[in-house]
Amino acid sequence: MNSNEEWAALNALERPAPVSSEVYGKHPSHIVDRYGSGNGPRVTVLHGGYWREAYDRRHLAPFAHALGEAGFSVELVEYRRLGGDGGWPQTADDVNAALDHLGGPPKVLLGHSAGGQLALWAAAHRDRAADRVIAVAPVADLSRAYDMGLSDGAVTELLGGHAGVTSLLPEADPMRLLPRVPVEVVHGTADLEVPIELSRRYANNWGARLHLLPGAGHFAPFHPTRPPYGVLLDLIRRP
């Protein structure tokens, strides 16, 4: 199954309503949805979508609900995105603000795709962003992603144009940011949205553990009935 088919399958799932939602700022995107009983180990989730407004947290609602059913207290974070007052550093500022609002570090800070870049950024910029960071198919090497022109130049958009890439890359690129907490990276070998090369480069650079999902594309780990989800769940459960 390719990434397009995985995306369609994920979006065909029912999107359970959160147990509760709360705001952490003044912008409409400053919102966190909570799933689970609230008594389990905390997992804070940052969704992907190449930082663009067209993709919001709702496509991960089935995943967040499934984690809640598995006994976790899940915090699904929204943030400002490109086309909705986002960009750099606004999007990163939102991640900081959300984590501050949520209190002490969660058991796991989990980010997918562009959210993986944000989670890795937080791992380097906060004294303790989480007990562990798990980055799934992260845009972990912004310089390489820029050179490859991924998603029609998403990195250029994020950093405000080619001049912004030159000036802001050092503070935004996980490849240049030493993580302060343990990091694990998960990537499907059939991912066509974010090349596995980016995860390999990050893992080699910082000694992060890289978990490969044979035959999985970009979205399979977040579909609660697919085997890659079980692999991800086992990683989240680890002490």
Q: What is the pLDDT of residue 4?
A: 86
Please tell me the predicted confidence (pLDDT) of residue 131.
98
239 residues of the chain, pLDDT tens digit each: 778 899 999 999 999 999 999 999 999 999 999 999 889 999 999 999 999 999 999 999 999 999 999 999 999 999 999 999 999 999 999 999 999 999 999 999 999 999 999 999 999 999 999 999 999 999 999 999 999 999 999 999 999 999 889 999 999 999 999 999 999 999 999 999 999 999 999 999 999 999 999 999 999 999 999 999 999 999 999 98
**Domains: count for the chain:** 1
> What are the DSSP calls for the chain, one per residue?
--HHHHHHHHHTS--PPPSEEEESSSSTT-EEEEES-SSS-EEEEE--STTBTT--GGGGHHHHHHHHHTT-EEEEE----BTTT--TTHHHHHHHHHHHHH-SPPSEEEEETHHHHHHHHHHHHSTTS-SEEEEES----HHHHHHHTHHHHHHHHHTTSHHHHHHHHHHH-GGGS--SS-EEEEEETT-SSS-HHHHHHHHHHHT-EEEEETT--SSGGG-TTSHHHHHHHHHHH--
Residue 135 burial by Cβ neighbours in a 10 Å radius (0-12, 13-18, 19+) = buried
Q: Give the pLDDT of residue 2.
A: 77
Q: How far apart are CA 190 and CA 208, in angstroms?
A: 21
Amino acid at residue number 209 = R
Q: What Å distances lie between residue 5 and 101, 164, 193, CA to CA?
A: 36, 34, 12
Q: Give every CB contact of residue 198 below 8 A, 6+ residues apart in sequence.
A: 138, 139, 140, 141, 144, 145
The answer to pTM > 0.95 is yes
- pLDDT for 41 equals 97
Instruction: Name the residue among 4, 112, 118 with its Cα closest to residue 63.
Output: 112
CATH number of the domain to which 209 belongs: 3.40.50.1820
Question: Domain of 205?
Answer: 3-237
User: Residue 187: which of 200, 204, 174 has the closest Cα?
Assistant: 200
Bond into 89 cis (ω within 30): yes
Q: Identify the pLDDT of residue 134.
A: 98
pLDDT at residue 139, as a whole number: 98
Q: Which of 187, 149, 138, 193 is nearest to 5 (CA)?
A: 193
